[in-house]
Amino acid sequence: MVPISISYLGDLRGIALHGPSRTGLITDAPVDNHGKGESFSPTDLVATSLASCILTTMAIVAQRDGLRLDGATAAVEKHMSSQPPRKIAKIVVRLALPPGIPLERQKILERAAHTCPVALSLHPEVEQIITFQWRDC
């Protein structure tokens, strides 16, 4: 169990505090939903969580296998539904991965990406598109 507390600050803004580290994270409603869009929205954090979880899970598997994913990056797009109710319809994650990973290990790492805890926690109606760009040596 990890305690996290959230306080509403007004003007559709909140602050979340991570219990163990006391690190704070500001959230703001997006401009298209009455907010200022000056920080991550709660749904932005869902998309960010997916990409971060994918990279972390892949790195855990790589480390276990004596490989390194240093320099790997993820670009994320969050697409909201165009019809009510307002919800995340699709998350696109484009991964750019470092050279030097053997093909058979790439497949294992890709499987890890698709089975990270956040990917498995999202509702099945949220389309997840994950692409991998493995750089050549």
| Spatial distance between the Cα atoms of 62 and 70, rounded to a whole number of angstroms | 10
User: Domains (ranges, CATH) in the chain?
Assistant: 4-33 (no CATH), 42-134 (3.30.300.20)
CA 11 distance to own-chain centroid: 26
Q: What is the pLDDT along the chain (137 residues), one digit of tens a residue?
A: 999 999 999 999 999 999 999 999 999 999 999 999 999 999 999 999 999 999 999 999 999 999 999 999 999 999 999 999 999 999 999 999 999 999 999 999 999 999 999 999 999 999 999 999 998 75
- What are the backbone dihedrals phi and psi of residue 58, each rounded to the nearest 5 degrees, phi first? -60, -40
Tell me, what DSSP letter sits at residue 1? Answer: -
Two structure tokens written together for 59: 């790195």
Reported in sequence order, the residue ranges of 11-97 that DSSP labels E, i.e. its strands, are 13-18, 24-28, 73-80, 88-97
| Spatial distance between the Cα atoms of 48 and 106, rounded to a whole number of angstroms | 22
Prior bond of 85 cis (ω within 30°): yes
User: What pTM was computed for the model?
Assistant: 0.94
- Name residue 107's amino acid: K
